Amino acid sequence: MKNLKRIRTARGLSQAKLAELANVKQATISRIESGTNNPSLAVADQIAKALNVSTVELFGIPELEQRFLEAFRSASPERQAALLTLLEDSQH
C-alpha cells in the first residue's frame, strides 16, 4: 500500500492510533508501511475505512483495475473462481 504512510501522516495519525481505528496491531501498520508485509484485502479494507479513503487510494490502483476489483468482489464465489482461473491461465 504505497500511499498508506502519506495518507496516515496527512491525517495526523500515529501508527498506533490508526491500528486502533482499523482494529489491527500497530506492528501490522509498521510492516505494511515499510513494505515487509502485504495486507490481505480484508485488512486493506479495514485500514481504508479507518482512514475514510478507498482501498484504491491506498494501493494507488488505476481506475480500470478498481472497477475490475469491485466487479470481482460482487461476483458469486463460482464466478470469482472462474475469473481467477482465467487470470492464472493468461499468465502461462
pLDDT tens-place string over residues 19-73 = 999 999 999 999 999 989 888 888 999 999 999 998 888 887 776 687 788 888 8
Residue 86 predicted with pLDDT over 80? yes
52 Ramachandran zone, left/alpha/beta (phi>0; psi -120 to 50): left
Q: What CATH number is given to the structural domain containing 18? A: 1.10.260.40
Residue 82 predicted with pLDDT over 80? yes
Specify the number of domains making up the chain: 2
According to DSSP H, which parts of the chain are helical? 4-10, 15-22, 26-34, 41-51, 55-59, 63-74, 77-90
Range of the domain at 92: 62-92
- Mean pLDDT confidence for 1-22: 94
Same domain, 8 and 52: yes
Same domain, 73 and 86: yes
3-class DSSP state for residue 25?
coil
